[in-house]
């Protein structure tokens, strides 16, 4: 790989943010922070009186993390409860405690109902009080679909309801090592990302029973 190619790959990887575990240790599913925050931003984008300007997710207690039952993607976080940190601007004529409470409730509900993320803490910081709020930032467009991969694993994943297409943010859409398969994909609403990932893992295991484990990395949802 050339210097420019290596630099581009690093920038692409950094743009994904952290790789967060969905569900529990047995679910074998991860989602990029970029994909997760896009879903969360969309869920709270129409709340009156405020605009979320920054949203990050990180382990609430790294020492309490569990060991996943399947090999994780490179540098992925192990299953653990997360802390959500959000910055927001608010209308100066609105009561801040009520706005913050509504945003916190909406973020927690979206993390659970729309993604399957376990969030234990939500930290909010108001950075400005404005007369007119900026338009909400809902994240960039989904990455382009990867080239078709003629494998049984790819075919099983693509036939699963809720899978939009395979992606290739960390390399090949289907990564195989001794006894382990990892698929990288995008999901589409209204399907729940964690449920889609579970269905993909079951479908791949059914067509490739020799695989000892199957993991899923969701790089875009929505």
Taking each helix axis from N to C end, the angle separating 96-110 and 33-44, rounded to the nearest 10 degrees, works out to 130
Report domain extents, the chain: 34-68+80-130, 141-221
Q: Please state, in angstroms and rounded to a whole number, the distance separating the CA atoms of residues 22 and 32.
A: 10
pLDDT tens digits in sequence order for the chain, 222 residues long:
555 554 555 455 556 899 999 999 999 999 999 999 999 999 998 899 998 989 999 999 989 899 999 999 999 999 999 999 999 999 888 899 999 999 999 999 999 999 999 999 999 999 988 877 766 555 555 555 554 435 789 999 999 999 999 998 888 899 988 889 999 999 998 999 999 999 999 999 999 999 999 999 999 997
Query: Which one is the CATH code of 34-68+80-130: 2.60.40.10, 3.30.9.40, 3.30.870.10, 3.30.70.1350?
Result: 3.30.70.1350
**Per-residue pLDDT, 191:** 95
Q: What CATH code is assigned to 141-221?
A: 3.30.70.1350
Same fold, 34-68+80-130 and 141-221: yes
């Amino acid at each position: 790989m050339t210097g420019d190619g290596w630099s581009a790959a690093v920038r692409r990887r950094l743009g994904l943010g952290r790789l967060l575990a969905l569900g529990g240790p047995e679910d074998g599913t991860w989602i990029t922070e970029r994909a997760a925050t896009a879903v969360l931003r969309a869920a709270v984008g129409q709340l009156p009186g405020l605009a979320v300007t920054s949203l990050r997710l990180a382990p609430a207690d790294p020492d309490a993390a569990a060991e996943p039952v399947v090999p994780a993607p490179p540098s992925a976080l192990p299953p653990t409860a997360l802390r959500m940190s959000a910055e927001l601007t608010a209308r100066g004529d609105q009561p801040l405690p009520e706005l913050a409470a509504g945003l916190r409730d909406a973020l927690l509900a979206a993390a659970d109902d729309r993604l399957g993320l376990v969030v234990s803490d939500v930290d909010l910081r108001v950075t400005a009080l404005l007369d007119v709020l900026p338009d909400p930032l809902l994240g960039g467009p989904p990455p382009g679909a990867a080239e078709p991969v003629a494998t049984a694993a790819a075919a099983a994943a693509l036939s699963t309801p809720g899978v939009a297409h395979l992606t290739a943010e960390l390399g090949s859409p289907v990564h195989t090592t001794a006894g382990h398969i990892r698929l990288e994909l995008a999901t589409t609403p209204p399907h729940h990302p964690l449920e889609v990932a579970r269905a993909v893992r079951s479908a791949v295991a059914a067509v490739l029973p020799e695989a000892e484990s199957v993991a899923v990395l969701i790089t875009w949802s929505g």
